């Protein structure tokens, strides 16, 4: 309590200092005047200072004084100040953006409560088979490890909306979902326990965009009814009372780019694919317990090689794939920051040389090293704090445009709806970095002053007083900058090559100009597969006529490796190959050339004729003699539940190999002719029509044949090439970094050379007076500059080797052994460096040597 009182009095004194000091001054003068011998009073200034020191703010006074002094000093050298603060600000801005991205994706948790305890449940390895009976899994038997089984059933709800039917993406959710994921609402209320009781009122939450588009964002929508027909319950429309609007940014499901538009309580048995574990429960234990429960619940025999239930962290699945790319970016940004620091250190060292005399005077007047250090630290703190402020401001403005671009390039949104932003965590991290920088940047000039002796006052500090070690240190820093820039340049060059390679990669088909969409039909309208086929054929005819080019269906999209079936030839040899079912005209639409034979006809696709087309690689593997046409072959689909053999087919064509990915090793593909005969069909068209009128046309064509058919908005097939998108992003970034780093390195080279020229002014004058030509003098500096460049380049090549190795491990198409990239990057940097040195060395022209010597 007493200590609190004392501190309050201290602060009161600080706030009213001027008044108190004035009063004390008056008081002392009055006292002094009353003394018979005023001199007895002593030095009033010293007494006032001692009195002031009692209040304990001496350190603050010293700090403010140091800051004012530092600010004055920096104002006197505006060019230096602007360059240093500007470079640091840029480096810190880059760091802020990078930390924001890493924070948004890798550090911040998903926007669900206890998100670190959320796990995806896999009952079997990826594939079509799963143990049967999982809907009957007894969750009470594992409730000591599983807090919530989070289950939902995806459902398409059809809302008749004027001319077209609109399909709403919906979820029927269990109570565990509502409690475990904590679906938050923007308006209205969440789903509560009583909504899940049998016989309770049918309620629903609607999505934000649905609320905006259909109800005009009217809060009065709460309480209204919405009437929809579920795909799984044809002919039985359901009416729900809207109780809430889901907050925007709630994504759920495999394709988490589609928002959920309607959420209703579920009462049917359902398979659970996500759980929230209880606190402190290791996932391995939970997985083991779930495996036992699954075994108990299974209603079909489980194969002996079943690996059991696996748990995968929800966060890992969402952002795991991004770790390598973010790691690469972090490395690159760190390198740029280090180069910025090296540059700033060089400039500070140069400045510290000029202040040696000042430091010597201070020491002679009684200052101690702690005071000198404090002075320097204050100056660097001032620089770093200003740079931090400017850097964060730049980053804030930049992120406004960059954030959506970055999210698009990374292929998924940041887990938290607030996106990539500069929050408290980011500010703390970047502030810490800035503080570390300030301390680090003070160390080197301090050590350079450490060698100052007081007799430096007597010597002419400007002649060779700086010492070889200081010169070597500066040269080493600049060489390091050159090395860093070269590393970035090489990395950038390799990435550019990678993109070029990708752009020129022949996938075997032509994705440019190819558009894809999907049609979805209602099961109630189609009693059997033949009915579906009829519709698809009509649809193909209608749309192909309208577009003037054929549309084709395929069971598997490009850029994704297709499922592998065993392909057996008549003599028994069997190999694995990708299996794709396609409609007539597929090969010509995709521009996959046929080496031999022909492609499927419409009749063959319609009748599911027993024909097949094989890829060149598959043909060579099955019939090395090269006589594949006319041969018999069949596919065998293998699942853990058993294998199913298809009918024997005749090979009618051999297609060119198609790659699905950039590093697709196995190009054996097996095509059969088939018009789709199910609810969904993905189709492709080669057209230049813009997306919106195309969508309209497709919807009209589908609506004319089946009013209930739903068409997805068409999109370009080339956009599905995610690898290329990511690589382009990384390339653009590296190019920016490499360019900035190179500019900074050149600044460093210029600074060092120009300073050396200035320092050796007298030496140059002497040399010229003794008969050296201007060119000879310039050659002197050129030689030193070239040595520096050479040393930096060698260092850089070593660093670039390591960087290239990291890149090639994570990025497709990057190979270390692309000599031309290395040579080009080195040549670029060396020529820029040489030009810079030459420009700086031109200042070695002293004019009249005598006056230069006399100028002193």
Partner 1 sequence: MPREDGLPPGTLVMLILHVLTGGPRHGYAIAQRIHTLSREELSVEEGSLYPALQKLLLKGWVKASPAISETGRAIREYRLTPSGRRQLERECANYRRMGAAIDAVLDTA
Residue 332 near residue 491, CB atoms below 8 Å: yes
- Of 51 and 735, nearer to partner 1 (C-beta) is 51
- Of 41 and 834, nearer to partner 1 (C-beta) is 41
Residue 274 near residue 118, CB atoms below 8 Å: yes
Residue 61 in contact with partner 1, rule: CB under 8 A: no
Residue 21 in contact with partner 1, rule: CB under 8 A: no
Residue 805 near residue 816, CB atoms below 8 Å: yes
Residue 57 in contact with partner 1, rule: CB under 8 A: no
Give the Cα separation of 439 and 336 in Å (integer). 19
Residue 479 near residue 791, CB atoms below 8 Å: yes
Residue 3 in contact with partner 1, rule: CB under 8 A: no
Residue 298 near residue 699, CB atoms below 8 Å: no
- Of 16 and 239, nearer to partner 1 (C-beta) is 16
Give the Cα separation of 568 and 590 in Å (integer). 26
Residue 95 near residue 50, CB atoms below 8 Å: no
CB of 17 to partner 1, least distance (A): 12
Residue 518 in contact with partner 1, rule: CB under 8 A: no
Q: Specify the residue for token string 């009161």.
A: 12
What are the residues whose beta carbons fall under 8 Å from the beta carbon of 811, sequence distance 6 or more?
328, 495, 498, 727, 730
CB of 384 to partner 1, least distance (A): 35
The residue within the footprint of partner 1, chosen from 14, 16, 26, 472 (CB under 8 A), is 26
CB of 30 to partner 1, least distance (A): 4
Residue 657: other Cβ atoms inside 10 A? 20
- Of 6 and 460, nearer to partner 1 (C-beta) is 6
CB of 12 to partner 1, least distance (A): 10
Residue 417: other Cβ atoms inside 10 A? 13
- Of 30 and 665, nearer to partner 1 (C-beta) is 30
With CB under 8 A as the contact rule, which of the stretches 24-32, 435-443, 510-518, 676-684 interacts with partner 1?
Answer: 24-32
The residue within the footprint of partner 1, chosen from 11, 23, 364, 798 (CB under 8 A), is 23
Give the Cα separation of 667 and 665 in Å (integer). 6
Residue 2 in contact with partner 1, rule: CB under 8 A: yes
Residue 674's nearest CA partner among 567, 591, 553, 541 is 553
Give the Cα separation of 6 and 10 in Å (integer). 6
- φ, ψ for residue 97 (rounded to 5)? -60, -45
Residue 539 near residue 670, CB atoms below 8 Å: no
- Of 38 and 269, nearer to partner 1 (C-beta) is 38
- Of 58 and 643, nearer to partner 1 (C-beta) is 58
- Of 56 and 647, nearer to partner 1 (C-beta) is 56
CB of 29 to partner 1, least distance (A): 7
Residue 619 near residue 628, CB atoms below 8 Å: yes
CB of 42 to partner 1, least distance (A): 5
- Of 23 and 436, nearer to partner 1 (C-beta) is 23
Give the Cα separation of 740 and 86 in Å (integer). 12
Residue 10 in contact with partner 1, rule: CB under 8 A: yes
Residue 723 in contact with partner 1, rule: CB under 8 A: no
3-state secondary structure of 632: strand
With CB under 8 A as the contact rule, which of the stretches 26-34, 226-234, 454-462, 782-790 interacts with partner 1?
Answer: 26-34
- Of 32 and 132, nearer to partner 1 (C-beta) is 32
Q: Which two tokens stand for residue 534?
A: 């009829």
3-state secondary structure of 242: strand
The residue within the footprint of partner 1, chosen from 11, 31, 193, 678 (CB under 8 A), is 31
Residue 759's nearest CA partner among 645, 634, 675, 843 is 843
Residue 365 in contact with partner 1, rule: CB under 8 A: no
CB of 44 to partner 1, least distance (A): 9
Handedness of CA 531, 532, 537, 541 (dihedral sign): positive
The residue within the footprint of partner 1, chosen from 11, 15, 27, 82 (CB under 8 A), is 27
3-state secondary structure of 16: coil
Q: Which two tokens stand for residue 745?
A: 């390195």
Give the Cα separation of 97 and 333 in Å (integer). 10
CB of 37 to partner 1, least distance (A): 11
* First and final C-alpha spacing in the chain: 65
Residue 30 in contact with partner 1, rule: CB under 8 A: yes
CB of 20 to partner 1, least distance (A): 9
Residue 515 near residue 684, CB atoms below 8 Å: yes
Question: Between 323 and 362, how does the x/- string for binding to partner 1 read (CB under 8 A)?
Answer: ----------------------------------------
What are the residues whose beta carbons fall under 8 Å from the beta carbon of 385, sequence distance 6 or more?
434, 438
- Of 9 and 842, nearer to partner 1 (C-beta) is 9
Rg of the chain (C-alpha set): 37
CB of 10 to partner 1, least distance (A): 7
What are the residues whose beta carbons fall under 8 Å from the beta carbon of 521, sequence distance 6 or more?
532, 535, 679, 680, 706, 708, 709, 710
Compute how many residues bind partner 1; rule: CB under 8 A.
29
Residue 796 near residue 486, CB atoms below 8 Å: yes
Residue 794 in contact with partner 1, rule: CB under 8 A: no
The residue within the footprint of partner 1, chosen from 11, 15, 16, 29 (CB under 8 A), is 29
Residue 28 in contact with partner 1, rule: CB under 8 A: yes
Residue 302 in contact with partner 1, rule: CB under 8 A: no
Question: Between 36 and 55, how does the x/- string for binding to partner 1 read (CB under 8 A)?
Answer: ----xxx----x--xxxxxx
CB of 431 to partner 1, least distance (A): 34
With CB under 8 A as the contact rule, which of the stretches 6-14, 76-84, 163-171, 747-755 interacts with partner 1?
Answer: 6-14
List of residues contacting partner 1 (CB under 8 A): 2, 5-6, 9-10, 13, 23-24, 26-35, 40-42, 47, 50-56
């Amino acid at each position: 309590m007493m200590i609190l009182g004392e501190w309050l009095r201290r602060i009161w004194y600080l706030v009213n200092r001027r008044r108190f000091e004035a009063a004390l001054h008056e008081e002392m003068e009055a006292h002094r005047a009353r003394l018979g011998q005023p001199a007895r009073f002593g030095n009033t200034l010293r007494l006032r200072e001692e009195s002031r020191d009692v209040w304990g703010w001496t350190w603050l006074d010293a700090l403010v004084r140091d800051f004012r002094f530092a600010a004055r000093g920096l104002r006197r050298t505006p060019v230096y100040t602007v360059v240093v603060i500007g470079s640091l600000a840029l480096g810190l801005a880059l760091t802020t953006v990078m930390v924001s991205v890493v924070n948004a994706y890798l550090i911040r948790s998903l926007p669900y409560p206890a998100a670190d305890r959320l796990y995806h449940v896999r009952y079997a390895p990826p594939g079509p088979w799963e143990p049967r009976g999982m809907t009957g899994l007894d969750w009470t038997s594992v409730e000591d490890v599983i807090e919530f089984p989070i289950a939902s059933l995806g459902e398409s709800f059809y809302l008749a909306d004027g001319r077209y039917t609109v399909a709403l993406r919906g979820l029927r959710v269990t109570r565990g979902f509502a409690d475990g994921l904590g679906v938050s609402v923007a308006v209205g209320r969440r789903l509560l326990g009583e909504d899940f009781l049998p016989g309770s009122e049918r309620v629903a939450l609607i999505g934000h965009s649905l609320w905006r588009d259909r109800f005009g964002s009217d809060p009065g929508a709460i309480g209204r009814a919405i009437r929809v027909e579920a795909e799984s319950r044809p002919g039985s429309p359901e009416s729900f009372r809207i109780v809430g609007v889901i907050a925007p940014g709630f994504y759920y499901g495999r394709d988490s780019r589609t928002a959920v538009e309607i959420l209703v309580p579920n009462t049917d048995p359902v398979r659970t694919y996500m759980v929230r574990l209880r606190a402190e429960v290791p996932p391995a234990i939970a997985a083991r317990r779930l495996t036992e429960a699954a075994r108990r619940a299974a209603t079909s025999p489980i194969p002996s090689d079943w690996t059991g239930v696996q748990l995968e962290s929800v966060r890992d699945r969402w952002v795991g794939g991004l770790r390598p790319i973010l790691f690469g970016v972090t490395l690159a940004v760190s390198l740029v920051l280090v180069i910025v620091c090296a540059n700033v250190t060089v400039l500070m060292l140069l400045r510290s040389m000029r202040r040696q005399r000042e430091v010597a005077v201070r020491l002679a007047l009684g200052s101690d090293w702690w005071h000198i250090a404090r002075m320097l630290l204050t100056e660097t703190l001032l620089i770093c704090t200003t740079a931090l402020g400017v850097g964060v401001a730049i980053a804030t403005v930049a992120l406004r445009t960059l954030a959506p671009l970055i999210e698009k390039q990374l292929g998924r949104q940041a887990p938290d709806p607030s996106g990539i932003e500069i929050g408290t965590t980011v500010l703390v991290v970047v502030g810490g970095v800035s503080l570390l920088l300030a301390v680090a940047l003070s160390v080197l000039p301090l050590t350079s002053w450490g060698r100052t002796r007081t007799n430096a006052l007597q010597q002419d500090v400007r002649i060779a007083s700086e010492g070889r070690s200081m010169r070597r240190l500066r040269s080493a820093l600049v060489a390091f900058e050159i090395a860093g820039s070269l590393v970035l340049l090489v990395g950038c060059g390799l990435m550019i090559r990678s993109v070029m390679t990708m752009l020129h990669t022949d996938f075997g088909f032509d994705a440019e100009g190819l558009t894809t969409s999907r049609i979805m039909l209602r099961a109630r309208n189609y009693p059997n597969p033949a009915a579906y086929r009829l519709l698809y054929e009509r649809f193909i005819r209608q749309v192909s006529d309208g577009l003037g080019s054929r549309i084709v269906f395929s069971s598997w999209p490009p850029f994704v490796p297709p499922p592998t079936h065993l392909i057996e030839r008549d003599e028994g040899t069997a190999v694995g190959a990708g299996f794709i079912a396609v409609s007539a005209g597929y090969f010509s639409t995709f521009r996959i050339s046929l080496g031999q034979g022909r492609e499927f006809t419409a009749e063959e696709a319609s009748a599911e004729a027993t024909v097949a087309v094989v890829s060149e690689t598959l043909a060579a593997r099955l019939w090395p003699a090269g006589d594949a046409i006319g041969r018999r072959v069949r596919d065998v689909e293998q699942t853990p539940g058993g294998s199913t053999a298809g009918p024997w087919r005749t090979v009618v064509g051999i297609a060119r190999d198609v790659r699905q990915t950039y590093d697709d090793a196995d190009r054996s593909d097996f095509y059969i002719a088939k018009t789709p005969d199910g609810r969904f069909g993905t189709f492709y068209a080669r057209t230049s029509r813009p997306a919106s009128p195309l969508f309209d046309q497709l919807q009209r064509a589908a609506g004319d044949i089946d009013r209930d058919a739903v068409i997805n908005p068409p999109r370009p097939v080339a956009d599905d090439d995610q690898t290329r998108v990511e690589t382009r992003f990384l390339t653009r970034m590296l190019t920016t970094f490499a360019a900035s780093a190179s500019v900074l390195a050149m600044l460093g080279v210029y600074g060092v050379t120009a300073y050396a020229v200035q320092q050796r002014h007298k030496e140059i004058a002497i040399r010229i007076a003794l008969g050296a030509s201007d060119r000879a003098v310039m050659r002197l500096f050129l030689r030193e500059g070239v040595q520096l460049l050479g040393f930096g380049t060698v260092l850089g090549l070593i660093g670039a080797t390591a960087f290239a190795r990291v890149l090639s491990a994570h990025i497709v198409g990057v190979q270390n052994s692309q000599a031309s990239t290395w040579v080009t990057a080195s040549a670029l940097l060396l020529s820029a460096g040489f030009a810079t040195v030459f420009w700086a060395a031109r200042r070695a022209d002293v004019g009249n040597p005598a006056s230069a010597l006399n100028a002193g």
